[in-house]
A and B are shown apart, each in its own frame.
Chain A
Amino acid sequence: MGVNLRNDRANGGSVRIVTTVNGRAIEYEVEPRLRLADFVRQELQLTGTNIGCGHGVCGACTVLFDGQTVKSCLMFAVQADGHEITTIEGVTPVDDLNEVQRALKTNFAFQCGYCSPGFVLAIQQLLERYEIPSEEEIRFALGGNICRCSGYINIVRAVQQLARERVKVGA
């Protein structure tokens, strides 16, 4: 299994990278042109990261790169050398949902779910940036992730619910 990515006619070689994925240090040989999204999905079999447009618009392939959301279809695996990658699998508790995932579920936020791993990570980052985000801040912060099923309405509601819960905890 795994794909033969060393057969690069342009480069003829591969590069050794050391990276941390979901908290585990790993060492890999990759072709320089291998996209980070393909590295995660095909080499590491972390298929929760989905590829939508492949050109940086839809955000289905969102992962955290040193804690910041990035579109993994626009990065190369070699860029992960010396950095930390977190995918949806890395933020999911064993056989359970985290706080963000649970709020999305109770709000019927998604339908087909293809974009949902990207949204979970984008929302996580949004909640790190804004303590109590306004609706406008939520809509702006999620503008890099496309959902074709939901109209975003229940996604926004879920984030607002999370924000309200914070207020309660704080009070």
Chain B
Amino acid sequence: METEESLSQGLKGARYLGRSTERREDSRLLTGRQRYFDDVVVPGALEAALVRSPFPHARILGIDASEALELPGVHLVITGEQLARDTDPMNQIVAGYEQYPLAVGRARYAGEPVAFVVADNRYLAEDAADLVKVDYEPLPAVLDRDAAARGDVLVDEGGGADTGEDESFVVGEAAGELTAETEPNVAYHEKFPFGDVDGAFGEADHVIERQIVWRRSCGVPLDTNGATAIYEGDGHYTIHANLQIPRVFNTIIGPALRTTTNKLHIIVPPMGGSYGTKMNNYRWPIVCGYASKLLGGRPVKFKESMVESLEQGESHAYDRRYTVRGAFRSDGRMTAYSVLLEEDLGAYPGMLGPAMTLKPISFISGPFDVPIQSYEVKMVLTNKSPQTAYRGFGSAPHNLALAAVMQQAAFDLGLEPEEVLRKNFIPPDKFPYTTGSGNQIDSGNYDSALTKTIQLADLEALRRRQRELREQGRYLGIGVTLGLEPSMFDYAYFVRTNDAVPMSGAPEYITVNVDSMGQVTAFIGTTESGQAYETLTATIVGEELGIDPESVEVVLQQATEADGPGFGQGASRMTVMLLGAAKGACDKLRAKMIKIAQHALETEEEMAVSDGRVYVKDDPERGLPFIVVGGIAHVDTTKLPPGVEPGLKATHVFDNPSVTIDSHKGLQANRLPSYPSMAYAAVMPVVELDPETGKVDLLDLFICYDCGTVLNPATVEALHHGGIAQAIGAVFYEEFTYSEDGQLLANNLWDYGLPTSRDLCPVHSTTDETPSPWMPLGAKGAAEGGYIATPAGLLAAINDALAPLGTRIDEVPITPERVLQAIDAANGGER
């Protein structure tokens, strides 16, 4: 247990925060009592299965469902054409594109849903799906960026290149005159130069250019997407769905179903993992809702099988090619950094993929003080699955590409990697620091975190060992990296690619209620997928009101019943936002309790609230317990002071602190990413590489993370562990491989390799604490850092091992085959 001395500096005097309080959620989880989406029984629900396109690109000439409909127990078959007639398209974040939950007229990737079959149960629905006859005319497909650029095949015939030329939010410059003709299959293309980039490269002593490829992977939660919808008449729907952000994407579901958002009663059960991926589970609520309506209100349920989940679309993320350049002085100081990102979005822009390519504008040069920088992004469409969000929202590949350039500089200039990092780190006294794009960030002491990691790992001893082993023909590699974890996002840049509704901020609320028995319940506006919001919120509210957190109940509200505005979980920010909201709500509540107690005690003396009592500050014996104050407020209302409303409930909305920071207002007006709070992690993995087999053994991983004030150390540590494991997956095992003819080969968990307990190495972690001056209690985001920062370290370790072999790897995942190819390439094809 943490002692008072070990508490964060921002938490001195805290009674409950800062301790590793056990998670109250765990008793439910470990006993099987947690009710996930698939456990929610809606009486009378029918179940659905999908008919999916076997072709990556095909015209749908006709769909004959007659045989399927003859099967006893089959109720309905819905086609894309029907949806296009009776529903409205799902929003696309890039202007000029359109998508329905089922393919309309043309299937644009293998596995795209073409028809939706509803039957008594899933078994019958699958039988019937087999009987649906679809007449396809296969079309040529494009499966990579370069083929897409040739323009022989257009993934979306109607869509056109958007160049970000709308003057209302241009900051950089449009990348020339681009149209659908000159840039086929490019959904969006924009260039953001900040400072005299060409000049800096012209004056550089040394220029490094690397091309880095990050192949498709994603969160792949074990609990796949699903929805059960009940049409309640007059445009009302009840929808159960494991949708991560129902208060955001109800704005897609409502209009698609041609009803209003206030008629959608969305209920989100706890989710079996999301990592961002369930943000886009809005297509199943739409189809299930439409089906229920056609069936007179009969509940309709659809839950993806894992194969459907991996194939049918929107469960993939980043598919990137980076061309990154660094301008260096001979002493290792970087003077300019430029990024060209070509993202393979898949067949539809969707809502999240494009925004994920823009987020890194908030930290183009990462922890390094290099304000001259540029960022160019090209979003390419191909005949592959569209994308969803994944932990870090596009940050992990960005950190990886940047780290590769820094490591190359160390190699080329004959420096140790830590020297290059230290020479370029933003110094602690330069915070708040304004990045090239104008994103002002709160705090950091990167050298301190790096030094702690170096000490923890005993880098000197590791290097000695590395030299010894090399003499024996063994290849040890040590990665030395530090990556940023941007947190506290606001919406503004989400709609950069679309001149739709302007957005900014991203507020959250808490409501705190004291009932007639004096018991406290907090209501928060988020879903959950493992972040322990109940435990954390109870601790925060307990701390604020001076009561035992165990006595505080927490209720998660969803869309329509939410007490306030908000986004909900996402972008490493919810707990920080809840801190701000809880303070406001508890201030309001305390004020009312004091007013009631003063009136009842007939005193005007100063009063305090703690330990479940409202009492006179200078005479604590005189006071009332919550049960009496609650009783007066709810049921004994004649004792209320004049003019005071009955009830004892307060809501406070806390907006993203960035909206009050002057330097961020420009970002919001210009629709550029604003991430004022930066957590970070120094990551130092140690690997041994076998040049004969290409196998890489991960021996140890050292990490020091700094996410400001820590509210529950064990929870934060556990979140980092999980992120590290996902990073190991992305770097070594996970890839949504497509065959040359456009079939997804890794469409199951045998072929898509999720790390198991045997794939993890010992993780040695320590922490540093540089509180944020802007965030409540100095806390920063914490849930994404392990995943965001680690891949860069792993690639660096492998390239350190490969250096004496005169080769390197520029892509992840790093399979033994790719290691051998790299070694062969260095040997001119000989081994």
The answer to whether B120 has its CB under 8 Å from any CB of chain A is: yes
Query: Interface 1/0s, chain B 16-40, versus A by CB < 8 A?
Result: 0000101101111111111110110
Q: How far is the CB of B305 from chain A (nearest CB, A)?
A: 5
Given A7-B73, A51-B38, A108-B715: A150 and B722 interface contact (C-beta under 8 Å): yes
Given contacts A111-B530, A114-B272, contact A88 B120 (CB under 8 A): no
Known contacts: A152-B725, A155-B757. The answer to whether A113 contacts B26 by CB under 8 A is yes
- Residues of B with C-beta under 8 A to A149: 273, 530, 722
**Does A161 touch B at the CB level, under 8 Å?**
no
Q: Is the C-beta of A151 less than 8 angstroms from some C-beta in chain B?
A: yes
Q: Which of B121-129, B281-289, B449-457 is near enough to bind chain A?
A: B121-129
Residues of A within 8 Å of B305, CB to CB, are 54
Q: Is the CB of A153 within 8 A of B222?
A: no
Inter-chain CA distance A1–B43, complex, in Å, is 6
Question: Given that A53-B306, A88-B31 are contacting pairs, would A154 and B721 also be in contact in the complex, using a CB cutoff of 8 Å?
Answer: yes
The CB with the most chain B CB atoms within 10 A, among A105, A112, A147, is that of: A112
Q: Are A48 and B32 in contact (CB under 8 A)?
A: yes
Contact at B219–A148, with CB atoms within 8 Å? yes
Q: Of A7, A34, A52, A87, which is within 8 A of B124 by CB?
A: A7
CA gap between A140 and B759 in the complex, in Å: 10
Q: Which residues of B contact A147 (CB under 8 A)?
A: 757
Residues of B within 8 A of A148 (CB): 219-222, 273, 275, 722, 725-726, 754
Interface string of A44-83 (1 = CB under 8 A from B): 0111111111110110100000000000000000000000
A52 and B757 CA atoms in complex are apart in Å by 17
Tell me the residues in window 94-114 of chain A with beta carbons closer than 8 Å to chain B beta carbons: 97, 101, 104-106, 108, 110-114
B199 within 8 A of A: no
- Measured in the bound complex, the distance between the Cα atoms of B426 and A99 in whole Å is 49
- Is A162 interfacial (CB-CB < 8 Å)? no
Contact flag A5-B31 (CB < 8 Å), given A105-B22, A146-B754, A155-B757: no
Instruction: Quote the shortest CB–CB distance from A29 to chain B (angstroms).
Output: 15
User: How far, in angstroms, from A88 to B306 measured CA to CA in the complex?
Assistant: 22
Which of these, B20, B120, B223, B307, contacts A112 with CB under 8 Å?
B223
If A53-B748, A150-B722, A151-B721 touch, whether A101 touches B31 (CB-CB below 8 Å) is yes
Complex: how many Å from CA A112 to CA B26? 9
* Bitwise interface map of B from 341 to 358 toward A, beta carbon under 8 Å scored 1, else 0: 000000000000000000
Task: For A152, list chain B residues within 8 Å (CB).
Answer: 721, 725, 756-757, 760
Question: With A7-B72, A7-B73 known to touch, is A113 a contact of B30 (CB < 8 Å)?
Answer: yes
- Cα separation A117 to B219 with both chains bound (whole Å): 21
Sort chain B's interface into a size bin.
35 or more
B631-680 residues with Cβ-Cβ distance < 8 A to A are none
Q: Return chain A residues, CB-CB under 8 Å to B816.
A: none
Question: Interface residues of A toward B: which range?
Answer: 35 or more
Across the interface, do B758 and A57 meet the contact criterion of CB distance under 8 Å?
Answer: no
Query: Least Cβ distance of A97 to chain B in Å?
Result: 6
A151 and B722 contact, CB distance less than 8 A: yes
Q: Which of the residues A49, A88, A89, A114 comes within 8 Å of B221, measured between beta carbons? A: A114
Contact A50/B120 with A110-B26, A149-B530, A153-B721 known, Cβ cut-off 8 Å:
no
Q: How near does chain A come to B39, taking the closest CB pair, in angstroms?
A: 4
Q: Provide the main secondary structure of the chain B interface.
A: loop
Q: Is the CB of A57 within 8 A of B750?
A: yes
Q: Which residues from 370 to 418 on chain B have a C-beta closer than 8 Å to any C-beta of chain A?
A: none
Q: CA A7 – CA B120 in complex, angstroms?
A: 9
Is A116 engaged at the interface, CB distance under 8 Å to the other chain? yes
**Contact present for A153 and B714 (CB under 8 Å):** no
B686 at the A interface (CB under 8 A)? no
- Measured between beta carbons, the chain A residues less than 8 angstroms from B20 are 108
Q: Which residue of the partner chain, among B43, B714, B750, contacts A108 with CB atoms under 8 Å?
A: B714
A60 CB to closest chain B CB (Å) equals 5
Task: Known contacts A3-B121, A105-B22, A149-B530; decide if A114 and B41 are in contact (CB<8 Å).
Answer: no
A114 to B38, CA, bound (A): 11
**Residues on A with beta carbons closer than 8 Å to the beta carbon of B34:** 113-114
Chain A residue at minimal CB-CB distance from B783: A111
Contact of B273 among A55, A114, A117 (CB under 8 A): A114
The reply on A92 being an interface residue by CB < 8 A is yes
Q: Is A120 an interface residue (CB 8 A)?
A: yes
Shortest CB-to-CB span from A103 to chain B, Å, is: 10
Cβ–Cβ contact B31 & A112, under 8 A: no
- Asked whether A104 and B30 contact (CB < 8 A) given A5-B123, A113-B25, the answer is yes
Contact residue among B23, B32, B306 (Cβ-Cβ distance under 8 Å from A105): B23
Contact present for B223 and A114 (CB under 8 Å):
yes
CB-CB under 8 A for A143 and B757, given A52-B222, A150-B722: yes
Q: Are A151 and B271 in contact (CB under 8 A)?
A: no
B-side contacts of A145, CB under 8 Å: 756-757
Tell me if A138 counts as interface (CB < 8 A to partner B). Answer: yes
Instruction: Contacts A57-B749, A112-B272, A148-B222 given; indicate if A5 touches B36 (C-beta within 8 A).
Output: no
Residue of B nearest to A61 (CB): B222
Q: Does B763 contact A (CB under 8 A)?
A: yes
Q: Can you name 6 extra interface pairs (CB under 8 A) apart from A4-B73, A46-B32, A88-B31?
A: A50-B222, A50-B223, A52-B306, A143-B756, A143-B757, A148-B222
Most chain-A CB neighbours within 10 Å: which of B39, B73, B721? B721
Q: Does B564 contact A (CB under 8 A)?
A: no
Instruction: Please give the residue numbers on chain A whose beta carbons come within 8 Å of chain B beta carbons, in ascending order.
Output: 1, 3-5, 7-10, 31, 33-34, 41, 45-55, 57-58, 60, 87-89, 92, 97, 101, 104-106, 108, 110-117, 120, 138-140, 142-156
User: Of the candidates A8, A34, A142, which one forms a contact with B757 in the assembled complex, judged by CB atoms under 8 Å apart?
Assistant: A142
Is there a chain A Cβ closer than 8 Å to B531's Cβ?
yes
Report 6 cross-chain contacts, Cβ distance below 8 Å, ordered by A residue.
A47-B32, A113-B25, A114-B272, A117-B31, A152-B756, A154-B718
Q: Does B745 contact A (CB under 8 A)?
A: no
- Quick check: B749 and A55 within 8 Å, CB to CB? yes
B22 near A106 with CB under 8 A, answer yes
Q: Which residue of A lies closest to B724 (CB)?
A: A151
Nearest residue, chain A, Cβ from B306: A53
Given contacts A7-B73, A115-B222, A148-B273, contact A50 B30 (CB under 8 A): no
Whether the Cβ atoms of A55 and B38 lie closer than 8 Å is no
Instruction: State how many angstroms separate the Cβ of B118 from the closest Cβ of chain A.
Output: 14
Interface string of B276-318 (1 = CB under 8 A from A): 0000000000000000000000000000011100000000000
B529 at the interface (CB under 8 A from A): yes
Is the beta-carbon distance between A52 and B31 smaller than 8 angstroms? no
Indicate if B517 sits at the interface (CB-CB under 8 A). no
* B 115-141 binary contact with A (CB < 8 Å = 1; else 0): 000001101100100000000000000
Residues of B within 8 A of A10 (CB): 127
Q: In the docked arrangement, what's the CA distance between A99 and B531, Å?
A: 24
What's the minimum C-beta distance from A33 to chain B, rounded to whole angstroms? Answer: 7
Nearest to B42 among chain A residues (CB) is A1
Residues of chain A with a CB closer than 8 A to B718's CB: 108, 111, 150, 153-154
**B residues less than 8 Å from A151 (CB atoms):** 721-726, 755, 760, 763, 786
Q: Is A92 within 8 A of B32, CB to CB?
A: yes
Whether A111 pairs with B760 at a CB distance below 8 angstroms is no
A50 touches B36 (CB 8 A): yes
Assembled-state Cα–Cα distance A55/B127 (Å): 18
The 8 A CB mask of B708-722 against A (1 = contact, 0 = none) is 000000110111011
Kindly report which residue of chain B lies nearest to residue A135, judged by CB atoms.
B762
B385 CB → nearest A CB, Å: 18
Residues of B within 8 A of A97 (CB): 27, 30-31
Q: Closest A-chain residue to B32, C-beta based?
A: A48
- Chain A residues near B220 (CB-CB < 8 A): 148
Chain B contacts for A112, CB-based, 8 A: 29, 221, 223, 270-274, 529-530
* Chain A residues in 8 Å Cβ range of B530: 110-113, 149
- In the bound complex, residues from chain B placing their C-beta under 8 Å from that of A34 are 123
B71 CB–A CB distance under 8 Å: yes
Check B222 against A54 for contact (C-beta < 8 Å).
no
Give Cα distance in the complex from A53 to B532, angstroms.
25
Mask, B511-545, CB within 8 Å of A = 1, is 00000000000000000011110000000000000
Chain A's nearest CB lies how many Å from the CB of B3? 18
